[in-house]
Amino acid sequence: MSAVSGSLNKLRYDGLWWRKFAALGATYGPEWWKRYSPAAIGALCFALIGRNRRNAKANLRRVCDQHGLSPTATTLRMFVEFAYCLSETLERFGPRPMPVRVDLPDPDPVEQALAAGNGIIIVTGHFGNWDIAAADLLRYGRPTNVVMAHEQNQSSSPYVERMREDRGLNIIYSDQSVLASLELLHALRRNEVVALQVDRLAGVDTAREVPMFGDLVRLPRGPFELARLSGSPLIAVFAPRLGTRHYEIRFGEARTLPRSATSSEVGECMAAVAREMETIVRDLPHQWFQFERFWVADGAPEPARPSRVARPRNRGLSAAEPRYARRESAIRSRTVSRRRSRSS
């Protein structure tokens, strides 16, 4: 039964076989196919994947009602835009990447933060092309750690992880261990980049309700507590798509939380990031690829309950250090070996 279930998962719309088929088209297809097929595929997914369509439409209704837009038409356009972003990501991360234009503002707050030597926390959402934005972070010459949940369809998780790591990104799963936060603290102390998404709850994270578009949403507290503990600046970054292989990086305000920050001060920082996300969603609602219910009033998912994890006999940082060191060594060895194989 498990083998049958695994094969069925691979055949699902978000499964491994369809992902590989899309990668073949994005890599080896003619230019006319890359230019026009995503629109048809996105429209077909809009028609067939009812759950995602209903959730996305419910999320966009608040935005559309305030600006006189049709929720149905905006949701359809969102599916189409998502197909283009996915296609260009698969092409960019594949064996035959095409040049991608990424417009950057001047001055660059990420460059300024890394020059200070305390690392930086990038927060973003399922908006525009976050994979292209993550790959662009490598130009700063610092290791980039992307925190993400496992794919909902487990059949595609190893494929997606390998695709990102082959581009030089370090993947850290937020739903696999309570030691992930320790690993992130170490990365920031080494003046590295840590990137997280804040518009979806995952793993053992806790949440806080903040206003957005006049109603309450739940954002994960983890990235903001990480900023408080590390002293690293936190900045919202979004990568809207402007055209074929053309993106723009938009930055929010860089914020630093002192270690002594109160719960109220952390909440104010979270609300400020929610306002920045509200601004970008208001400007380009069809590029907010949120397929889960987002507002509390609409039945947004609550944080997952923490799993029971065996703790070391001696509590504290010193007890967890050896486990972290072994994990870090394994990750870096795997990344180095893949880079060597690519260069050869």
pLDDT in tens, 103-128: 998 888 899 889 999 999 999 999 99
> What pLDDT score was predicted for residue 270?
96
> What pLDDT score was predicted for residue 307?
44
> What pLDDT score was predicted for residue 67?
85
> What pLDDT score was predicted for residue 311?
34
Position 212: which residue type?
A: M
Name the more confident of 333 and 290. Answer: 290
Q: Is 24 helix (H, G, I), strand (E, B) or coil?
A: helix
Residue 151 burial (CB count, 10 A): 17
What is the CB-side half-sphere exposure of residue 329 using CA atoms within 13 A? 6
Q: Closest Cα to residue 13, out of 148, 159, 152?
A: 152
Instruction: Give the Cα separation of 326 and 63 in Å (integer).
Output: 47
Q: Closest Cα to residue 40, out of 72, 75, 79?
A: 79
Beta bridge pairs of residue 103: 248
Q: What are the tokens at 292?
A: 């889960």
Residue 235 burial (CB count, 10 A): 22
> What pLDDT score was predicted for residue 159?
77
Which of 205-209, 253-257, 306-310 shows the lowest per-residue confidence on average (mean pLDDT)? 306-310
On the 0-12 / 13-18 / 19+ scale of CB atoms within 10 A, 229 is: middle
Residues 249-286: b if buried by 16+ CB within 10 A, e if exposed: bbbbeebbbeeebeeeebbebbebbbebbbebbeebbb
| Number of residues in the chain | 344
The two beta strands, 246-248 and 250-251, are: unpaired
Q: What are the tokens at 175?
A: 């739903």
**260 DSSP 8-state letter:** T
Mean pLDDT of the chain: 84
User: Where in the chain are the domains?
Assistant: 10-298, 312-344
Question: Are the beta carbons of 249 and 103 closer than 8 angstroms?
Answer: yes
Question: Are the beta carbons of 256 and 249 closer than 8 angstroms?
Answer: no
> What pLDDT score was predicted for residue 114?
92
Instruction: Give the Cα separation of 135 and 169 in Å (integer).
Output: 7
Instruction: Give the Cα separation of 24 and 43 in Å (integer).
Output: 20
Label residue 157 by pLDDT band (50, 70, 90): confident
Q: Closest Cα to residue 194, out of 152, 237, 153?
A: 237
> What pLDDT score was predicted for residue 290?
94
pLDDT 10s digits, 215-242: 999 999 999 999 999 999 999 999 999 9
Report the share of the chain in percent with pLDDT over 90.
58
> What pLDDT score was predicted for residue 337?
58
Question: Are the beta carbons of 217 and 209 closer than 8 angstroms?
Answer: yes
Label residue 329 by pLDDT band (50, 70, 90): low
Q: What are the tokens at 191?
A: 């003046």
